[in-house]
Amino acid sequence: MSIYLRRFYQRLLPPTPAPPAPAHFRHLYADIFWFGLLAGSAVAFLSIYAARIGATSFQIGLLTAGPAVVNLAFSLPAGRWLEGQSVARLTFLSSVWHRAAYGVFVFLPVLLAAAAQAWVLPVVVVLMSLPGTLLAIGFNALFADVVPPHARALVVGRRNMLFAVSTTLTALAAGFILDHVVFPLNYRLVFLVGVVGAALSSYHLGRIRDIRPPVPAVAAPPVEAAPRGPTYFR
């Protein structure tokens, strides 16, 4: 009976307030929310724009296959290079290098003819995949450093929720813009929304600091020469 009474009173009492989340948790939430603007605008409609300007199936396929090949080729070297580096700083810098390329898409429709754009698009996407690979690896390492194991499920769940909300709303708004604004201004506005989201996402990534100092790479100890003597003759 005492067990049931204890449970009854526990339900009546207000729950113990959770400790305030660290500041970098809030930056992680803001990062993914603003990244949803990029994902729901420029990322989602880039292939559609390529088809709109008459890109071939091969050129459109390069928009997806190119980054995959770059990721396959440079993931291991990028992971080795990150060892001993400031993960937070390199994650921020790589996000800036990677996402700055979306600004090119805003001005591309007024700078080049459609046939030239069809080739420039996959080239830019492949080039921006180089820092993008470093960003993906660095962020995974940064997330593991700044989020303790007991809080990771909660943080990931909230990030997924925020990403879904921002991506859905942005995609709906982008579709409205594409339907009601003349071409190519409509796509330029959609790409501009992506640039704004990318800039704000990178800003919040830059506000996250390393909790642990970078561990310098340890050089392998020198190999001592084997003593000369009859025992070591073969």
Between residues 151 and 11, the one the model is more confident about: 151
Helix, strand, coil share of the chain (percent; to 5)? 75, 0, 25
Task: Examine the pLDDT at 13 and tell me if it is beyond 60.
Answer: no
> CA 193, CA 106: separation in Å to the nearest integer?
10
In a domain, 191, yes or no: yes
Q: Looking at residues 145-171, what average pLDDT do you find? A: 94
For the chain, how many helices (H) and strands (E)?
9, 0
Tokens of 57: 């199936």
pLDDT in tens, 186-228: 999 999 999 999 999 999 999 988 665 555 544 444 444 444 4
In a domain, 232, yes or no: no
In a domain, 227, yes or no: no
In a domain, 229, yes or no: no
In a domain, 192, yes or no: yes
In a domain, 30, yes or no: yes
Q: Looking at residues 159-170, what average pLDDT do you find? A: 96
Total number of domains constituting the chain: 1
In a domain, 233, yes or no: no
> CA 212, CA 137: separation in Å to the nearest integer?
17
Tokens of 199: 């800039």
Q: What is the CATH number of the domain that holds 64?
A: 1.20.1250.20
- The whole-angstrom distance between residue 199's C-alpha and the CA centroid of its chain comes to 12
Structural domain that includes position 141: 22-209
Residues whose CB falls within 8 Å of the CB of residue 159, separated by 6 or more in sequence, listed in order: 28, 29, 32
- pLDDT-derived band at 85, boundaries 50, 70, 90: confident
pLDDT score of 17: 42
Task: Examine the pLDDT at 40 and tell me if it is beyond 60.
Answer: yes
> CA 234, CA 216: separation in Å to the nearest integer?
40
In a domain, 16, yes or no: no
H helix or E strand, kind and range, residue 201: helix 185-206
In this structure, what DSSP letter does residue 218 have?
Answer: P
Identity of residue 185: L
* Range with the largest mean pLDDT of 29-33, 61-65, 67-71: 29-33
pLDDT score of 7: 56
